[in-house]
Amino acid sequence: MSARLAGKRVFVTGAAAGIGAAIARACAEQGAAVCLADTDLGGAERLAGELTTAGHRALAVECDIAERASVEMAVALARERLGPLTTLVNNAGMNVFHEPLAMPDDAWRRCLAVDLEGAWLCSRAVLPDLLANGGGAIVNIASTHAFSIIRGCFPYPVAKHGLIGLTRALGVEYAARGVRVNAIAPGYIATPAVEAHWRTFDDPAAARGRIEALLPPGRLGRPEEVAMTAVFLASDEAPFINASCITIDGGRGAVHHD
């Protein structure tokens, strides 16, 4: 069977660790040339080096998606080294959780800048390549926070709701020109950031167990399980999926309450 992303050139943000790293790895293993963009350049370079050693085409670039100049420089370098981009995965983001009236003003601005505006800045930088190619794919990594509200998590769900709106608006706007824009909404996924969160509790195992008990499979998802959905949406196997969102939460969203 041929590689599912052969000939694709994929720009992945937040690619140094967690879901982004899993997506970058999966795309490379499926034949794509991959640009790993992250503020953690060292982490991105380590993974890019590993992929290159394994025979894949991979490039690491430093990129702060909240800064337009940084995005444009990173995309330009990726284009120069890999060729015109065919695919964008907007994965980079940050957790900003507050009780609304106790939230510092800077927290609101930073959350919206990274979790929503950053996806637009990257899309704006990559879209000209996709349109010139006659088509391509954008995959936005949203969250189940885009549909459900947990008290004390403001303003993160505001940004993720907006990311679904961005997905749908761009998907409709450019569909006739061959560009598909979709989102993935992960639930509880066992990323390094989530594992670090458990360690803040007096009993990390018990804290994790309480969450696992809420999930129908009795476990957290794995980054690789999100990554393969991103591969599918980036591939030519999904030509009529557009302006949509795939939820990856083990069925938690189907549970009325526990």
Which of the residues are catalytic? 156
Name the helix (H) or strand (E) containing 10: strand 9-13
Task: Tell me which residue of 27, 58, 243, 224 sits closest to 138, measured CA to CA.
Answer: 243
- Gyration radius from the chain CA atoms: 18
Residue type, 106: D
Residues 6+ positions from 99 with CB-CB distance below 8 Å: 151, 152, 154
Strands 97-98, 154-155: pairing kind: antiparallel
Q: Which one-letter DSSP state was computed for residue 192?
A: H
Q: Which position has the token pair 């992929």?
A: 51
* Terminal-residue alpha carbon distance, the chain: 43
